[in-house]
Amino acid sequence: VRRLTVPAIQGRKVDGATAEPIVMLTAYTARMAQLLDTHCDMLLVGDSLGQVIYGLDSTVPVSLEMMCAHGAAVRRGSYQSVVVVDMPFGSYEASPQQAFESAARIMKETGCAAVKLEGGEVMAGTIEFLSARGIPVCAHVGLTPQAVNALGGYRARGRDDAERDKILADSKAVTDAGAFAIVIEGVMEPIAREITRSVAIPTIGIGASPACDGQVLVAEDMLGMFERVPRFVKRFDDMAGRISAAAERYASAVRERSFPADEQLYGVKRGS
Ligand code: KIV
Ligand code: NA
């Protein structure tokens, strides 16, 4: 199978509507990418790996090195999805030039097809600079986790008119700047619907209602790896429970010396 392309994703939205919603999940490792790839249109190497993989308490400390290493692994593990890599905090905000250098490094080291960065109007110049130089950019508006220290937490955005107008203006600005898609995080349904209706590029929602052109979740959240998840997450499995149960069975088997058994031993005929 040929890998999907950024223009193909952008082209899924025709005359303001997306017939088949765009499916996106995060992946941080090659094996997870392999398992998710055939079911997705896009795989996001999210800087959420800071919390999910590294146990950090926000995405702020995530480095370019981490994003490059995990991005390369996900690219190697996938065959058909468009791989998008998050630009980490501090790697793009200072200037379009800084953003270009970081994005070019990410693309060279990972083979990804696009980068994602957080911010609306304030990042429009940067998005325009990258897009014009061969780097497809996915924007990210609404709740932007890298701004946790400025926002004072991870509350949903757009609860009053000023916030709502700001998110709409941000979405318009990144669209005009040349972003190929927008992740909308943590906003009320009417705002997501209004953005999706008013911009020509696909909107990918997370905690932003079914009004978006596509959906993204952190794979580990969706798989039920965590006991506590935000309201917008649906757990499609209970991997945390299954992993502890498997570890418990393994531990008992070792302690009672029933593992390893004959079938795991070299030099013993199977079934003997
Ligand atoms: O880092 C991340 O996982 C994201 C999302 C949109 C889920 O940015
Ligand atoms: Na992110």
Q: What is the model's pLDDT at position 271?
A: 64
Give CA–CA dist 104/137, Å, rounded: 12
pLDDT category at 1 given cuts 50, 70, 90 is: confident
Query: Position 19: which residue type?
Result: A
Q: State the average pLDDT over residues 58-66.
A: 98
Q: Which of 128, 185, 194, 220 is catalytic?
A: 185
Asked whether residue 118 is marked as a ligand-binding residue, the answer is yes
Contact 183 CB / ligand 1 (< 6 Å): yes
**What is residue 119's DSSP assignment?**
B
Contacts of range 231-237, beta carbons closer than 8 Å, 24 or more positions apart: 231/207, 232/186, 232/206, 232/207, 232/208
Asked whether residue 63 is marked as a ligand-binding residue, the answer is no
User: Ligand 1 atom closest to Cα of 185?
Assistant: 6
Ligand lying closest to the C-alpha of residue 45: 1
Tens digits of per-residue pLDDT, 244-254?
999 999 999 99
**pTM over cut 0.95:** yes
Tens digits of per-residue pLDDT, 167-223?
999 999 999 999 999 999 999 999 999 999 999 999 999 999 999 999 999 999 999
Tens digits of per-residue pLDDT, 103-127?
999 999 999 999 999 999 999 999 9
Give CA–CA dist 223/207, Å, rounded: 16
End-to-end alpha-carbon separation of the chain, Å?
A: 44
**Ligand 2 centroid to residue 25 C-alpha, Å:** 12
Q: Cis before residue 260, ω within 30 degrees of 0?
A: yes
* pLDDT of 272 higher than 60: no
Ligand lying closest to the C-alpha of residue 51: 1
Q: What is the model's pLDDT at position 157?
A: 87
* pLDDT of 42 higher than 90: yes
Q: Which residue has the tokens 């995530």?
A: 62
**Ligand 1 centroid to residue 154 C-alpha, Å:** 13
Backbone angles phi, psi at 21, to 5 degrees: -55, 145
Q: What is the model's pLDDT at position 268?
A: 86
Shortest-distance Cα residue to atom 4 of ligand 1: 46
User: Ligand 1 atom closest to Cα of 46?
Assistant: 1
Contact 46 CB / ligand 1 (< 6 Å): yes
Strands 214-217 and 203-206: parallel
Contact 86 CB / ligand 1 (< 6 Å): yes
The answer to whether the beta carbons of residues 85 and 116 sit under 8 Å apart is yes
Q: State the average pLDDT over residues 25-30.
A: 98
Q: What is the model's pLDDT at position 250?
A: 98
Ligand lying closest to the C-alpha of residue 88: 2
Could you report the predicted ipTM of this complex, rounded to two decimals?
Answer: 0.99
What value does the mean pLDDT of the chain take?
97
Clarify whether 93 is annotated catalytic: no
